[in-house]
């Protein structure tokens, strides 16, 4: 029903004896994850380091991370939700249909063994990546991973953590939560924050063509979004703030070059476990920072006649 | 009757929660024209986007492609809302009573968290029908939603009571975390009944099942006879005669409980 | 050419946000990294402080930052439903300002999380 | 310059009890007299003048609260909305309000100072970022120390003196104001899925460190460091039936050291299980009344929705299993943890009914209002913006009796409230919401209206409906600026942050660095919060 049972990365380093990576390939995408935070370091309560830990990799294919794993569980593409739901039942000693389990690419015996290992862990952790959260089922796959881990706590200590990709996307969640009360997908069109993923999430907004101007910063949707979304960005006024002239800049009405985060721009970023870290820029950029440019745009907006939703009429409603 | 006709397609979505029989039935034509709606971030008068005819009526009819007009019939308790064309998101959300008819297609979150009334959609509908909004523990608690065509994701998510009928195909996660009530499907894609606690899902064609649903038996439940008679009034024919076939019964979702029932119709022969 | 070193610098390339990186710069380039992974090293070395892009572009033509800021403000202000999107490869301070801007222009604000 | 004239002034710290007198303000402070043409006068005739409220224990910012915000979008959807205007940022209220809304809601009660009661050092930077975005109130933080394993390791080795320096170093690194002890030893035990329930038994993973040892050593350290606020203590066994014994034992263990006992309501239960739970407020109050070294806050509950947020991880797992609702848990390496469980207190539930009574009983039975303060352990027992409901219950025994009549019968046999007739006076209310907590926090410029105090002044209509009165101040002055006028928030002003700089041996850093590099996952240099992150820091040198 929601919620997350998690920890900071040092807890994993100091305590975890059972580590699962699901739908992620840290060897390629988070190269220091194994050596700095999880698998390899000697922890306070895992003095043996790597030898004191078991690693299970769950993925649809054998990635370069597989050679770091003790056990590889290869699941058929798009079957993660079925597997996790089965695991949730097995954790509670509930019966499952062996033939339908086998359709996932894994056998009931493999999953029962997996559950036994999870329950016997002293401190277990499940990291899940975009191979889980961006495939069919999306947020429900993440919810499944979170639910499985929460329920394992009836048997042993277990935590989970999403392997957030893009630089400071964690920071965006954190900042939006404290300023608006919601983590992403917030509309201010009525003058106060409203949250509804699917309605106010960017891809949906752009594909439906709901918005009539876009400010893009710290992203390049012109390179990654589906074509209808890109077409809409080109059709309506788009403004890009980026250290480079990006794909999106080329279809935008306005591009402003900004200093690179952490190299020339100072400030704060959040690690995937929501630990805030200071930036220490080494180069002085000829360009202003995102922070400064957004502030300047805001100041210009403030010079115009104010948009005052607080003075609008109350809308009668049943 | 009050008739509203959309004059032009809005460039950005309109929010028009004032458009329910509860509100319009008390208003004269001038007041109706002046009803506040939101066009993106700006508050406008209703007559800036709609031709407004009639006044003081519990029958409200909207003509045109209102697929970008959100929150029609929000929280309505009585009366009739008829959309000749398409309807936008959140149609009949929090509805308590009355009737909504859509001749065309409807969007996502129709009848979300509703507690009474009837919504009929002649075409296709989107996802999260009768569902709970993100974070809320309970979706619809009473009422009926009938969709002639297909539906999107998470139909009936966390619903507690009431009936949803999708005559066509529903996408993934129909009956997700369902707590009670009934969903009748022409068919469905994946993960039907995922994490359901209680309630009944009936599919009239074979559907893929999660490994956490267990086969019980094949039978013709007596409650379906009663139910079928009720639904016949809404133009829905639910097979129940033993001569026609029987229902395979499964219980689940064992990931959370085994008290939910999934019935899959198997025609005789 | 000016030389500069920074210890315990923070790498923002991936979600690990390692903060133990040693950096050495000459002029407007980072020439050496310590303790960074391959991705991090490439990230640091590929971003220079050289002036290799126009300050700003408005309708495809070079413009001053002031002109571009003015144009950006006008587009967002005039829009009925503007969207502020991205917020990943940037600082919390910029994110905080972006939320304020979205509020002032009555828009939607969203990050990569929703993808 | 400003003169508030004609109001009845309640300033218990200066022994002013409802006298009609003027309050003069200049330069953000209370002054003897103001003269000249540019003096604004506020006519306070018919109004009651209080020093601005001070919340000694609340959770309004930082990793744990922000975690809860993400978990409960449904609560924000149905909460009070704050609409954007050129003067005010937008926000949402509810059980975990956004930061701007937090400032508005506190100001909307007449509060001007809040103490955020649970800050891990590792994420203190985050807490300060949020506090900077919390307008209209001054702020301070208590830093979580009683499960810091580097400190516990030193206690295990008997190195108490070095542990004290380490504690002081951490307090400064976090830019904190006070030391918080939560379920001493229990949170670190939770990292293995265990708890620390018996004060005299070693904490799992240690042979000599017991909860009792942590409590007594840490209270002594805080006293030796001469911190303005005593150790802020959340006792072991929170919420558990029969925990009264632990709470009394804890007070004995403190052995004369100063301590502030947080949310005492959650620690005053008798019985053996949920079915036999009963109020032990009489026993607790009698013992507490004899301990002049101690202060406490109520941690009262009110019926309705809440979200429980505490560093007490094991309790939260239990609550999750009891409710079957959402559960969030965030363990912080080497330092602490936190759990988040949304919860609804129901008047029909016997356990909740007893809890409701216990909070009020403690406020009524502890005889010195200077030592017991109004809190709900926001958002755990109820939201802070519901304080006026409690004030009304304390000031009106008839209303209290009406409420008691609605409780389930089986709760009535387990509580003492029906037999208590005491009614709070306005002066006593001024003590428990302002003067007392300011004194406990060691903030001499807060909680009173004497010359030199911060000009935080609130004007209420004198209304027999105390809930309405305290929920709708007519005016609020923050540092001399009028921020609430005729009941409306007129502008956002920034608050200050109070921090302490305790003295410690600089060599402690050389002891800590190698351990830090071994056990933590960030660079030692990046660990302390930079001073420039705090806007308007008010630094107190200690020891």
For the segment A136-173, what is each residue's pLDDT rounded down to a tens digit? 999 999 999 999 999 999 999 999 999 987 789 999 99
Residue ranges per structural domain of chain B: 108-267
pLDDT > 90: percent of chain D: 93
Residue showing tokens 């008290």: B259
CA-to-CA distance for B221 and B219, rounded, in angstroms? 6
Q: How far is B133 from chain D (nearest CA, A)?
A: 7
Q: How far apart are CA C106 and CA B42, in angstroms?
A: 9
The answer to whether position D535 is within a domain reads no
Name the residue of chain D whose CA is nearest to B41's CA.
D84
Q: Is D154 within a domain?
A: yes
Distance CA D453, CA D13 (A): 11
Best to test chain C binding among D73, D81, D88, D90 (most C CBs inside 10 Å): D90
D526 to C8: CB separation less than 8 angstroms, yes or no: yes
Domain layout of chain C by residue ranges: 3-46, 56-114
Element (H, E) at C57: strand C56-58
What does the pLDDT read at residue D450? Answer: 98
The domain of D248 spans 58-442
Residue A2: per-residue pLDDT: 66
Question: Per the structure block, which two tokens stand in for D211?
Answer: 């909860």
The average pLDDT across A195-221 equals 96
**CB contact (8 A) between residue B136 and residue D74:** yes
Cβ-defined contact of A210 to B13 (cutoff 8 Å): yes
**pLDDT exceeding 90 applies to what percent of chain B?**
94
D3-40, pLDDT tens digit by residue? 999 999 999 999 999 999 999 999 999 999 999 999 99
**What does D264-287 look like in DSSP terms, one character per residue?**
GGGG-EESSSGGG-EE-HHHHHHH
Query: Cα–Cα distance between D347 and D345 in angstroms, integer?
Result: 7
Count up the domains in chain D and report the number: 1
Q: Which of D74, D92, D95, D341 to mutate to test the interface with B (most CBs of B within 10 A)?
A: D74
The distance of D522 to chain C (nearest Cα, Å) reads: 6
- C107: nearest CA partner in chain D: D84
Is the CB of D72 less than 8 angstroms away from the CB of B135? Answer: yes
Taking the C-alpha atoms of D44, D47, D49 and D50 in order, what is their torsion angle to the nearest 10 degrees? -150
Euclidean distance between CA atoms A193 and A195, whole angstroms: 7
D418-470 pLDDT, tens digit each: 999 999 999 999 999 999 999 999 999 999 999 999 999 999 999 999 999 99
pLDDT at position D190 over 90: no
Interface contacts (A, B; CB < 8 Å): 119
* Rounded Cα distance, B256 and B250, in Å: 15
pLDDT for residue A1 is more than 60:
no
Q: Which chains neighbour C (Cβ–Cβ under 8 Å, 3 or more pairs)?
A: A, B, D
Interchain pair B135, D74: CB under 8 A = yes
- Given the cut 0.85, state whether the ipTM is greater than it: yes
Tell me the two tokens of residue A182.
Answer: 């919601």
The answer to whether D325 contacts chain A (CB < 8 Å) is yes
Which pLDDT belongs to residue B5? 98
Nearest-Cα distance to chain A for B128, in Å, is 10
Instruction: DSSP for chain B, please give it.
Output: -EEEEE-S--SS-EE-TT-SHHHHTT--HHHHHT-EEEETTEEEEGGGTEEEE--S-SEEEEEEEETTEE-TTTT--SSEEEEEEEE-TTTTTT--SSEEEESS---TTTTTT-EEEEEEESS---S-TT-PPTT-S----EEEEEESS-B-SSTTTT--SSEEEEEEEE-S-TTTT--SSEEEEEEE-S-TTTT--S-EEEESS-----TT-EEEEEE--HHHHHHHHHHHTTT------TTTEEEEEEEE-TTT-S-EEEEEEEE--
Rama region for A238: left / alpha / beta (φ>0; ψ in -120 to 50; rest) = beta
Is the residue at D200 inside a domain? yes
Average pLDDT score, chain B: 97
- Put simply, whether B40 touches C (Cβ < 8 Å) is yes
CA distance D153 to D142: 22
Taking CB atoms and an 8 Å limit, are A254 and C81 in contact across chains? no
Lowest mean pLDDT among B22-36, D178-192, D346-360: D178-192
Q: How many residues does chain A have?
A: 318
What spatial distance separates the first Cα and last Cα of chain C, rounded to whole Å? 44
CB A42 within 8 A of CB A48: yes
Domain containing D373 — which CATH number?
Answer: 3.20.20
Nearest CA-CA distance, residue B15 and chain C, Å:
12
Of A308, A205, D61, D134, the C-alpha closest to C109 is A205
Domain A169-305 is of which CATH architecture?
3-Layer(aba) Sandwich (3.40)
Contacts of D74 in chain B (CB under 8 A): 133-137
Residue B204 has pLDDT above 70, yes or no: yes
Does residue B113 belong to the interface with chain A, where contact is any CB pair within 8 Å? Answer: no
CB contact under 8 A, A313 and B43: yes
Q: Please give the C-alpha separations between residue C62 and each of A51, A81, B148, C105, D74, in angstroms, as whole numbers.
A: 58, 50, 55, 26, 47
For D342, the closest chain A residue by CA position comes to: A3
* Chain B: closest CA distance from residue A82 (Å): 6
C87 CA: distance to closest CA in chain B (Å): 22
For residue D237, is it left (φ>0), alpha (ψ between -120 and 50) or beta?
left
User: Which residues in chain D have their CB less than 8 angstroms from residue C20's CB?
Assistant: 522-523
Least CB-CB distance to D84: which of C8, C92, C103?
C103
Whether pLDDT at D311 is above 80: no
Q: Give Cβ neighbours of residue D493 (< 8 Å, ≥ 6 apart).
A: D135, D136, D478, D479, D481, D483
pLDDT band at residue B269 using 50, 70 and 90 as cut-offs: confident
Structure tokens at B154: 């998470």
Strands of A145-282, DSSP E: 157-162, 186-187, 194-195, 213-217, 238-242, 254-257, 268-270, 276-278
What number of other Cβ atoms are within 10 A of residue A98's Cβ?
A: 12
CA distance A144 to chain D (A): 13
Q: What is the DSSP letter of A318?
A: -
pLDDT along chain C (115 residues), means of 10: 93 93 96 96 93 95 98 98 96 98 98 82
* B65-74: pLDDT as tens digits: 999 999 999 9
Closest Cβ–Cβ partner in B73, B135, B215 for A2: B135
Band (pLDDT 50/70/90 cuts) for residue D191 is confident
**Residue A88 to residue A83: CA distance in whole angstroms:** 9
Tell me if the domain spanning A9-162 has CATH number 3.40.228.10: yes
Dig out the tokens for B179 from the structure: 């707590």
């Amino acid at each position: 029903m929601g919620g997350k049972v998690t920890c900071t990365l040092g807890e994993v380093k100091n305590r975890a004896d059972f580590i699962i990576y699901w739908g992620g390939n840290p060897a390629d995408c988070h190269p220091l994850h194994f050596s700095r935070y999880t698998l390899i370091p000697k922890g306070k309560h895992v003095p043996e380091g790597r030898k004191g830990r078991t690693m299970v990799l769950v993925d649809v294919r054998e990635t370069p991370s597989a050679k770091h794993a003790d056990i590889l569980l290869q699941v058929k593409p798009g079957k993660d939700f079925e597997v996790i739901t089965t695991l949730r039942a097995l954790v509670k000693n509930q019966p499952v249909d062996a033939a339908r389990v086998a359709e996932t690419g894994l056998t009931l015996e493999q999953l029962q063994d997996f559950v036994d290992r999870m329950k016997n862990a002293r401190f277990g952790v499940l990291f899940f990546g975009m191979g889980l959260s961006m495939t069919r089922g999306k947020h429900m796959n993440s919810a499944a991973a979170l639910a499985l881990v929460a329920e394992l706590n009836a048997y042993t200590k277990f935590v989970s953590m999403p392997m957030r990709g893009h630089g400071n996307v964690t920071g965006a969640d954190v900042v939006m939560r404290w300023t608006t009360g919601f983590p992403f997908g917030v509309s201010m069109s009525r003058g106060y924050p409203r949250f509804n993923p699917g309605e106010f999430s960017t891809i949906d907004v752009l594909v439906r063509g709901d918005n009539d101007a876009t400010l893009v910063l710290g992203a390049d949707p012109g390179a990654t979004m589906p074509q209808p979304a890109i077409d809409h960005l080109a059709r309506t006024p788009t403004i890009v703030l980026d250290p480079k002239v990006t794909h999106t800049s080329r279809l935008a009405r306005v591009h402003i070059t900004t200093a690179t985060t952490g190299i020339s721009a100072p400030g704060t970023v959040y690690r995937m476990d929501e630990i805030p870290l200071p930036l220490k820029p080494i180069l002085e950029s000829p360009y202003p920072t995102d922070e400064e440019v957004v502030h300047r745009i805001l100041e210009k907006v403030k010079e115009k006649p104010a948009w005052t939703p607080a003075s609008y009429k109350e809308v009668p409603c049943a | 009757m009050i008739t509203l006709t959309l004059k032009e397609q809005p460039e950005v979505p309109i929010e028009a929660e004032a458009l329910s029989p509860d509100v319009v039935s008390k208003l004269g034509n001038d007041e109706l024209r002046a009803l506040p709606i939101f066009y993106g971030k700006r508050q406008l008068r209703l007559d800036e986007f709609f031709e407004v005819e009639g006044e003081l009526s519990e029958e409200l009819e909207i003509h045109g492609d209102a697929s970008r007009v959100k929150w029609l019939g929000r929280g309505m308790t009585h009366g009739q809302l008829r959309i000749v064309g398409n309807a936008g998101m959140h149609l009949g959300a929090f509805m308590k009573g009355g009737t909504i008819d859509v001749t065309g297609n409807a969007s996502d979150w129709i009848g979300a968290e509703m507690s009474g009334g009837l919504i009929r959609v002649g075409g296709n509908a989107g996802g999260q029908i009768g569902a709970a909004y993100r974070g809320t523990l309970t979706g619809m608690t009473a009422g009926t939603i009938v969709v002639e065509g297909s539906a999107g994701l998470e139909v009936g998510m966390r619903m507690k009571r009431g009936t949803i009928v999708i005559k066509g195909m529903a996408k993934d996660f129909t009956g997700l975390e369902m707590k009670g009530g009934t969903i009748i499907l022409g068919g469905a894609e994946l993960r039907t009944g995922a994490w359901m606690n209680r309630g009944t899902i009936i599919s009239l064609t074979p559907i893929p099942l999660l490994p956490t649903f267990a086969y019980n038996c094949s039978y013709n439940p007596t409650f379906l006879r009663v139910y079928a008679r009720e639904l016949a009034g809404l133009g829905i024919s639910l097979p129940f005669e033993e001569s026609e076939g029987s229902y395979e019964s499964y219980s689940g979702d064992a990931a959370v409980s085994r008290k939910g029932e999934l019935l899959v119709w198997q025609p005789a022969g | 050419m000016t030389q500069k070193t920074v210890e315990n610098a923070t790498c923002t390339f991936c979600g690990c946000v390692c903060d133990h990186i040693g950096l050495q710069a000459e002029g407007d380039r980072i020439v050496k990294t310590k303790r960074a992974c391959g991705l991090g090293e490439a990230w640091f070395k590929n971003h220079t402080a050289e002036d290799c892009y126009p300050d700003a572009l408005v309708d495809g033509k070079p413009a001053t930052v002031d002109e571009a800021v003015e144009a950006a403000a006008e587009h967002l202000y005039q829009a009925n439903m503007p969207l502020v999107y991205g917020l990943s490869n940037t600082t919390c301070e910029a994110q905080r300002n972006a939320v304020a801007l979205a509020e002032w222009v009555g828009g939607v604000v969203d990050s990569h999380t929703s993808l | 310059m400003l003169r508030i004239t004609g109001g009845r002034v309640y300033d218990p710290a200066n022994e002013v009890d409802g006298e009609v007198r003027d309050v003069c303000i200049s330069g953000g402070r209370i002054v003897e007299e103001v003269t000249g043409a540019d003096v604004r006068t506020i006519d306070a005739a018919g109004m009651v003048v209080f020093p601005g409220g001070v919340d000694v224990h609340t959770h309004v910012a930082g990793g744990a609260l922000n975690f809860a915000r993400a978990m409960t979008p449904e609560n924000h959807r149905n909460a009070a909305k704050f609409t954007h205007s050129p003067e005010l940022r937008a926000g949402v209220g509810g059980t975990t309000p956004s930061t701007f809304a937090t400032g508005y809601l506190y100001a909307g009660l007449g509060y001007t100072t809040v103490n955020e009661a649970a800050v891990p050092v590792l994420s203190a930077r985050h807490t300060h970022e949020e506090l900077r975005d919390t307008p209209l109130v001054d702020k301070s933080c208590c830093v979580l120390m009683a499960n810091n394993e580097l400190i516990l390791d030193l206690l295990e080795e008997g190195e108490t003196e070095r542990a004290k320096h380490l504690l002081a170093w951490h307090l400064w690194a976090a830019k904190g104001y006070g030391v918080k002890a939560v379920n001493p030893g229990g949170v670190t035990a939770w990292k293995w899925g265990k708890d620390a329930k018996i004060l005299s038994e070693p904490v799992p993973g240690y042979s000599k460190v017991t909860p009792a040892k942590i409590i007594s050593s840490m209270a002594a350290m805080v006293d030796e460091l001469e911190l303005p606020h005593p150790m802020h203590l959340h006792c072991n066994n929170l919420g558990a039936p029969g925990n009264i014994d632990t709470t009394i034992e804890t007070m004995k263990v403190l052995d004369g050291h100063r301590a502030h006992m947080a949310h005492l309501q959650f620690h005053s239960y008798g019985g053996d299980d949920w079915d036999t739970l009963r109020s032990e407020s009489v026993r607790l109050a009698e013992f507490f009344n004899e301990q002049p070294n101690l202060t406490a806050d109520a941690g009262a509950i009110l019926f309705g929705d809440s979200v429980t947020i505490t560093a007490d991880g094991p309790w939260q797992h239990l609550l999750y299993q009891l409710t079957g609702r959402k559960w969030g848990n965030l363990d912080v390496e080497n330092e602490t943890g936190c759990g988040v469980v949304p919860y609804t207190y129901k008047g029909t539930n016997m356990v909740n009914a007893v809890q409701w009574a216990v909070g009020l009983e403690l406020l009524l039975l502890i005889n010195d209002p200077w030592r017991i303060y109004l809190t709900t352990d926001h958002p755990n027992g109820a939201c802070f913006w519901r304080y006026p409901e409690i004030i009304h219950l304390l000031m009106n025994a008839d209303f209290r009796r009406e409420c008691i009549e609605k409780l389930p019968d089986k709760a009535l046999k387990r509580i003492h409230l029906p037999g208590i007739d005491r009614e709070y006076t306005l002066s006593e209310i001024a003590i428990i919401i302002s003067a007392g907590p300011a004194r406990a926090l060691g903030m001499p410029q807060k909680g009173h209206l004497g010359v030199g105090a911060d000009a935080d002044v609130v004007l209420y209509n004198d209304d027999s409906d105390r809930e309405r009165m305290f929920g709708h101040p007519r005016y609020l002055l923050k540092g001399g600026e009028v921020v609430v006028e005729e009941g409306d928030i007129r502008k956002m002003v920034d608050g200050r942050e109070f921090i302490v700089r305790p003295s410690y041996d600089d060599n402690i850093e050389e002891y800590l660095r190698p351990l830090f590099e071994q056990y933590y996952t960030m660079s030692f240099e990046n660990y302390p919060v930079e001073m420039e992150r705090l806007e308007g820091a008010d630094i107190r040198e200690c020891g």
